[in-house]
Amino acid sequence: MRRILKVLTSRLMIVGPLVLLQLALLIMLFYRVTIIYSVMPLVNVLAILIVIYVINRSEDPSYKIGWTAVILAVPVIGVPLYILAGNRQVPKKLFNGTIKASQKMNDLLALEPPEMSEETHEMFEYGASRLGYPVYGRTVSKYYSSGREWFTDYIEELKKAEKFIFMEFFIIYEGECLDEILEVLKQKAAEGVDVKLIYDDFGCVTMPRSFMKKLKAYGIEAYRFNKLRPAFIIQMNNRDHRKITVIDNRVAFTGGVNIADEYIGKITRFGEWKDSALKMTGDAVWSMTVMFLGMYTYVSGKEVDFEQYHERYVMTVSSGLYQPFSDTPTDSEPACLNMHQNMISRARNYIYIDTPYLIPNGSIMSALCLAAKSGVDVRILTPHIPDKKLVFQITRGNYDALLDAGVRIYEYTPGFNHAKNFVSDDKWAIVGSVNTDYRSYFLHFENGILMYDSDQIKAIRNDFLQSLERSHEISREESAQTPLPLKVMRAVLNLFIPLV
């Protein structure tokens, strides 16, 4: 009830209605002009021309189909809506700022790769040559199968900080989790540690206006990414969904965990909350440091000497190879989608996937089905208790095609599965912030870590298999019993999900 009250009194309840009002007025105006001046034939011609343009764009096919259906079915709504929101052109300021940061990152991340086999090199090659993210040895990791496990180590590592703490999160909510973290950050800032925080303005929309003032009073340098505005602009769709913490360029954390009490089991929302996170120590942390600083240069507008944060540590142990990566909607490269697809297509024995939202685009769906048909053990774990009911229906609407191909699908019976893991063949894994949905693949800023031959890969596999013991496997017969009206609703929702 308290959280609902916060949402009802948040800036979202002002911004949201104003945006919808603007959209409604625009469509009404376009409709009235069309009727009054009897230009419906011209609108129909314009609709056809826009559809031809959409079909010939280098976009995801599902995105094209959705817009084609809207534009041709209801031109007086579809035409103005596409002109306003369909082109997905990132605003110039956001584009220039993040592209500039990315270019600076690429220059800093040039690195001679460690020795590896030809097969291993092929897996890392896309991220290295196309995205510019190097592969590191001299790194160790620790996998956390819950936010509760993560939080204990997270607090301890924050307390060890001597030079800087960089934090970037999508969601921050008030509660015990935030209070304990802020207490440590306040102390560290007082000791002279450089503490910087970036958080997404939409993800943290329930935070009070006094939050920034509190952070400043504590000596924490903080920035809101992509501030919410009461305007119908496509920029509001591009959110910072990354979860990055870097301490002294020595330790880095990422995964699905945000700063809120449900993530660490302090409160119960949507049943038992399952999540995951990864800690890295060693050379690979530098990529995470650079990723954060790249975003920082954009949100702060400051020039930064990245090298002043390049603290060196000599690792006496090492476990596997690591390739931290990030993705941005400001370019034409769907990096996270391609990293996921690469893992699926290269799996030989099994691939296990944790995801809160199973809304794959056509290429991921085809890769999953082909892998299963080729004899790969493909299993996917989704929530049983959803956080968003309509999105959950879209997730379930994708079950049939996957089940028909031989993919095994489970729902996490105790509650909500928020983990975002890929693991295959006891050799490879990806842990990060990326969901298997359109928003993560095409609209959000995301990050992850591709791992090879780490001793923690089996821990990720074992966590998945142990979770299946507490889950319900969806059979083809069970899925086929879905009532027809519900199937139709899911199909309609699935058609329009790429548009938003």
pLDDT of 246-291, one tens digit each? 999 999 999 999 999 999 999 998 999 999 999 999 999 999 999 9
In order of their start, the domains of the chain are 2-85 (no CATH), 92-324 (3.30.870.10), 335-499 (3.30.870.10)
Mean pLDDT calculated for residue range 188-194: 98
Rounded distance, CA 419 to CA 434, Å? 9
pLDDT digit string (tens) for 435-484? Answer: 999 999 988 999 999 999 999 999 999 999 999 999 999 999 999 899 99
Which residue is listed with tokens 């690792």? 315
Q: What is the DSSP string of 70-87?
A: HHHH-HHHHHHHHHHHTS
Which of 275, 447, 441, 420 is closest to 352 using CA atoms?
420
Reply yes or no on whether the pLDDT at 424 is more than 70. Answer: yes
pLDDT in tens, 315-342: 778 889 999 999 988 777 899 999 999 9
Distance in angstroms (rounded) separating the CA atoms of residues 127 and 133 = 6
CA 117 to chain centre: 30
Beta bridge partners of 144: 277
pTM, two decimal places: 0.90
Q: What's the whole-number mean pLDDT along residues 112-133? A: 87
Q: Which residues of 11-38 are buried (b: 16+ CB within 10 A; e: fewer)?
A: beeebeeebeeebeeebeebeeebeeee
pLDDT above 70 coverage of the chain, percent: 88
> Where are the strands (E) in 262-367, listed by range?
272-274, 277-282, 321-327, 350-354
- Per-residue pLDDT of 151-167, as tens digits, reads 999 999 999 999 999 99
Distance between CA 464 and CA 421 in Å, rounded? 9
Please report the pLDDT score of residue 232 as a whole number.
Answer: 58
Q: What is the mean pLDDT of the chain?
A: 89
Instruction: Give the three-state DSSP class for 413.
Output: coil
The reported pLDDT for the residue numbered 11 is 67
pLDDT single digits (tens) 2-26: 566 655 556 666 666 766 777 777 7
Beta carbons of 431 and 448 less than 8 angstroms apart? yes
Bridge partners, 222 (sequence order): 197
Stronger pLDDT, 491 or 284, i.e. the higher one: 284
| Cβ neighbours of 266 (radius 10 Å) | 15
Q: CA dist 433 to 20, 270, 292, 355, Å?
A: 29, 20, 14, 10
